[in-house]
Chains A and B, each alone.
Chain A
Amino acid sequence: MSTSVTASPAKSAAPRLRTPRKKHTPGKPKRNVLLTVLMALMVLYTVVPLIWLVINSTKTQSGLADSNGLWFAHDFALWDNIRDTFTYHDGIFGRWLLNTLLYVVLGAGGATLLAVLGGYALAKFQFPGKRAIFAVVIGAVAVPATALAVPTFLMFSKMGLTDTPWAVIIPSLVSPFGLYLMWVFAAEAIPTELLEAARMDGASEVRTFFQVALPLLAPGIVTVLLFTTVATWNNYFLPLIMLKDPDWYPLTLGLSAWSSQAQTIGGDVIFNLVITGSLLTILPLIAAFLFLQKYWQSGLSAGSVKE
């Protein structure tokens, strides 16, 4: 049949399902203390900044200046800091949070939808121009996104889109990496015979997609959704060039504005709020990654880059 798009993933589909894998069964390898210690050092490097962030979000502005960075100050000001973060400047932080959510829901949600539909098409259909699409999209992955930023900005400003949420949402809708991941995933997760059977039974293409294909794509969808969410939630450059009005800022841009405010002469120094705000910004994503581990790790290893 003509539909086996990628030859290799289909064969290696078996280990994808995260069966608790015992790999090197010949005599089950001994646990190695030295290796574990080395890895612990690596973990230390990873978590020290995060611990620093948690500790320092409990300090007041003056406590930040005169206490050791890796230990608590005298007064525990975390709750005050959180309250102040949300009330400073008429609660602009809350507004930024809502903006970020808006960009994530529409931007990352839309990007995932487009990637799922497109990946399914590439994996399961033959249509005119397919090779061209593939070549252009793969080529586009190598184009530095920031090289496009200035011309995109100029284009959008001609179209009157800059300084509106659309300027951030529309460019977020395209994720070539997501398309690639969904394509590889769809190729191996959806048996073509199943689609044929549905069509034989007279199901429309739309119905076949929603009732047969979509459920099989679930782990891939979670993976793409998570990664596009991170990309949108953490996006800095795009909103930086597109938005002037602080009312439309996402969290990242707002935090950086608060931080540089301290450097301007006469600016209000609010590093304690920058730090607390940073902590509040990363918590949702870290929680999402921890709770959805099972899904994205299987989705990634199935669709991930392999030969």
Chain B
Amino acid sequence: MKKILAIMLVLSMALGLAACGGQKAPEKTKLTLWCIATESDANRPAYEQAIKAYQEKHPDIEIEWSAFENESYKPKLKAAMSDPDSLPDIFFTWSGAFLGDFAAADAALCLDEYYKPYASQLPEVMLQNSTYDGKHYAVPLTMNIVTLFANMNLLGQVGWDHVPETYEDLTACCDALVAAGIIPFGCAGKETWCVTEYLEPIIEKTIGYEQMNEIFAGRATWNEKGIEDSVAVFQEMINKGYFDPAGAGLGNDEVKAKFISGGTAFYQNGSWNCGEVNDAGDYFQVALFPVMDASRATYGQVIGGPNDALAVSSHSKNKELAAQAAFELGRDICHYGYLAGSGLPAWTPDYDTKDVKPLVAAVAEMVKNSEGMVLFGDNAMSGDPANIYLDYVSKVYGGEIDGAGFVAGLAKDLQ
């Protein structure tokens, strides 16, 4: 035991020392970057290409980057905020309230003065989710919306050759699917954000995007008949057996895998899945959730927006360089990510887009023609309210409360 320990120690120390030596390269300015593009993330190649391109253009600057798993990245970043000096120069962030908290705590740098040179490529409207008190705090990468993926093979079995575009058609289609023993929808109950991907479009298509934005921002009350009705519609769909009951205890990976392998006919989730669904077969189509109340909403209204973004630490030693790098990297990550199908561009493409995957192109078209946008609820609200909101959504999915309970509870807890 002792010998083995001793050998292990000597070996490991030697290797450790060896790793420390040989680092005497010529002095370069070093910029650190944290992101969540881990080795198997769909965005990984986009980051790699973008960083390579940046290094070639700026040989005197070294980007030292590191990727962390999505869920554990949040505590990591929040712990780092407790001593802002330990933040990296550039860090990945979600827009909306997540970044808003950091902006309010002065940990993220205001990017207004660095934005100008890029204004022609990056429309200002794309910055709105990372703008607080009229100041811009992040560089958006990709944008995503909630889309309804459909397996046309399964729909074909019950006589549908297109994705239903009205609610009546959708129910008729679902009834036919259920009758044929096919499960219409898959939804991961273990991850509540997946439930919001179903509930939020129903709400939006009932009360319209303007009212929904007001409510998410806390300027209008949750106590609204339209939301109550939306919840009722959602729960009716669940009760009619449109949703896979197994989904209640599953994570999103399992639910998505089930959809792709033909286990469910529909899967409503973020458009970042386009690339993966597109590559799984040519019989998948993408659409939006139908309109519920035509007097208040239109088909082209979507849930989503630019969400993934890069922010710069206000404690960075090279603020200007870091800000410029954030813009240049953001532009290129967006470029390569779009071509790979892992998201839609927040930056205006100035390159050949004919190789974009068909499903991605279809969603890009939807975004271009969008008639209004609402950011994902759990991103629009800050930490505590967002979790209270998710809590109520999971209660709706679990059948604990009905529409009245949902609006009354949120009106009470979130005002």
Is the pairing of A and B real? Answer: no
Task: Name B residues whose Cβ lies closer than 8 Å to a Cβ of A.
Answer: none
Task: Name A residues whose Cβ lies closer than 8 Å to a Cβ of B.
Answer: none
